[in-house]
Amino acid sequence: MKVTRRGTVLVGAALSLSLLASACGSSGGDSGGGGATTASAGDVQAALDAGGTLTVWAWEPTLKQVVADFQTKYPKVKVNLVNAGTGKDQYTALQNAIKAGSGVPDVAQVEYFALPQFALSKSVTDLTAFGADKLEGTFTPGPWNSVHSGSGIYGLPMDSGPMALFYNKEVFDKYGIDVPATWDDYVAAAKKLHEADPKAYIANDTGDAGFATSLIWQAGGKPYQVNGTDVTVNFGDAGTQKFASTWQQLISGKLLAPITSWSDAWYKGLGDGTIATLVIGAWMPANFETGVAAGKGKWRVAPMPQWESGGKATAENGGSSLVIPEAGSSKALAYAFLKFADVDEGVKIRLDGGAFPATTAELNSPEFKDKKFPYFGDQQVNQVLAESAGEVVPGWSYLPYQVYANSIFNDTVGKAYTGAATLAEGLKAWQDASVKYGQEQGFTVK
C-alpha cells in the first residue's frame, strides 16, 4: 500500500529490461495454471499443522503485528518478515530472485499496478487452486478486479486506495473558498487561492504517473486494454482528454506547487498551508497523522471532485496485494498466511494499525465508519472513504509492464509539467514509448 516515489532507480531500469524479456518469453501458454499446485482447504490446514518457515517480503508497517499474531496462533510456523525494498526496489529484487532461481520469498507484497506484470509471466501462483475464487464478494470491486488476470486470481487484496479529496480547511476558510465539487470548481479554486496568496497552491504536482492514471481512470478513460499478450495503449480516448485539458489549465496557470510528492518539502508544504489539497487514496490518514503533525485539526476529507456535476465516480490510487511467487517452496502454508492477513484476523489487526481495508465487511461495519479522527477535527472520514470505495469506475486495467511504463513517465509526460510541452504531447510521447517497449518485450501492441 504505497505510492511509489517517482525517482527511478538505476538498477530497476537496467535489470527489468532483460528480466522482463525472459519472463515474458516463457509466458505464452494456457491460463489454467499448473495442475500440480491444485490444493484444497484441507492441504492448507495440514500445512499449518505441520508447520514450517515462511519468508515474507513486504514493506507495509502493520504487517509486523500481523506476523506476530500469526505466529502466536500457529506456533509451529516461523515467519521471516523482510523489508526487501519499497515498491520498485522490491519488484526488481523479486524479478532478480525469480530469474536467478534462488532466494525467492514465499509471500511478497505487490501493488495492484505492478501485479499484471508478475501475473502474465506466471511468476506468481494462480490462487484459484486454493479456492480463492470463492472469496468473491469478500473484497470491494476495485481491488478484487485488480488481482484478476484472465481467469486467474494472482493475489489477495491487502488494502485499497479509493480516492478522496483531502483539503486544508483552515486555508479554505481564510480565503473563502468552497470545497470543489467538480474539477472545474477545482481549477477555479486553484486560481482564487493562488491570487489571494501567491505562496499557496491548490496542489503539488511535478508529474506522478500513479496520480495521472488514477484521474484518467476516474474520468472514464481506458487507455490500456489488455487481452493476454495483446495490448492496446491509447491516450486519445475521451476520458484521457478530459484529464489532459483540465490539468493543462492548472499547469499553464502555474497553479501547481513545484514540489514532488513524498519529499520532505511535501510534508512541510502539507503542514504549513503551501499545499491546500491532496487528491489521493484512502490510506492517507495514517500518513497525515505521523508525517504532518503541524496540520493537525486543519485537514478535512471530502468526496473526489467530479468530471460531471452530480457524478459520484471515483478511482483507486495505490493499494497492494499479497502474492505467492511460483518459485516459492511452501505454497499451502503461504496461502494460509495470505488468508490470515487479508481475509481473517489480520484485517482487524491492520485496521487498528491505521491501514485502509479492502474487505466489504470492515468497510460497512459501523465501528469502522463512525470512528472519529481527532486529526481531522473529529470528522468521521471513513464515511467519505468507504463511499468512495463503492463508486470506483469499473473496467480499468494496467499494462503488463506498468512498472517500467511508470518509470518513464517523467521522461515523457514530465516535460509538460516544466512547460516544455503540452500534456497532450507528453501523453502521446508516453504512449509511443510504452508501445515501443511492449513490442520489444514480445507483446502485440497497438
Interface with other proteins (CB under 8 A):
1-5, 10-11, 14-15, 57, 59-62, 82-87, 89, 93, 96-97, 100-103, 159, 161, 262, 264, 267-268, 271-272, 281, 283-284, 286-287, 290-291, 293-294, 318, 353-355
Please say which residue, 353 or 442, places its beta carbon nearer to other proteins. Answer: 353
CB 313 to other proteins: min, Å: 22
CB of 299 to other proteins, least distance (A): 15
Residue 182 CB, nearest distance to other proteins (Å)? 27
Question: What HEC string does the chain produce?
Answer: CCCCCCCCCHHHHHHHHHHHHHHHHCCCCCCCCCHHHCCCHHHHHHHHHHCEEEEEECCCCCHHHHHHHHHHHCCCEEEEEECCCCCHHHHHHHHHHHHHCCCCCCEEEEECCCHHHHHHCCCECCHHHHCHHHHCCCECHHHHHHCEECCEECCEECCCCEEEEEEEHHHHHHCCCCCCCEHHHHHHHHHHHHHHCCCCECEECCCCHHHHHHHHHHCCCCCEEEECCEEEECCCCHHHHHHHHHHHHHHHCCCEECCCCCCHHHHHHHHHCCECEEEEECCHHHHHHHHCHHHCCCEEEECCCECCCCCCCECECCCEEEECECCCCCHHHHHHHHHHHHCCHHHHHHHHCCCCCCEHHHHHCHHHHCCCEHHHCCECHHHHHHHHHHCECCCCCCCCCHHHHHHCHHHHCHHHHCCCCCHHHHHHHHHHHHHHHHHHCCCEEC
For other proteins, which is the closer residue by CB, 60 or 126? 60
- For residues 4 and 121, which CB has a smaller minimum distance to other proteins in the complex? 4
Do residues 342 and 361 touch, judged by C-beta distance below 8 A? no
Instruction: Choose between 212 and 332: whose C-beta lies nearer to other proteins.
Output: 212
Place of cell 509492464: 401
Q: Which is nearer to other proteins, 94 or 256 (CB)?
A: 94
**In whole angstroms, what is the distance from residue 377 CA to residue 169 CA?**
10
Q: Which is nearer to other proteins, 55 or 213 (CB)?
A: 55
Q: Which is nearer to other proteins, 130 or 166 (CB)?
A: 166
CB of 11 to other proteins, least distance (A): 6
Q: Shortest Cβ distance from residue 158 to other proteins (Å)?
A: 11
Nearest approach, Cβ of residue 89 and other proteins (Å): 8
CB of 138 to other proteins, least distance (A): 22
Q: Specify the amino acid at residue 134.
A: K
**Shortest distance, CB of residue 60 to other proteins, whole angstroms?**
7
Shorter beta-carbon distance to other proteins: residue 129 or 164: 164
- Which CB atom, from 101 or from 366, has the smaller least distance to other proteins? 101
Nearer to other proteins, 195 or 264 (CB): 264
The rounded distance, in Å, linking the Cα atoms of 380 and 37 is 44
- The nearest distance, CB 4 to other proteins, in angstroms, is 7
Closest approach of other proteins to the CB of residue 295, in Å:
10
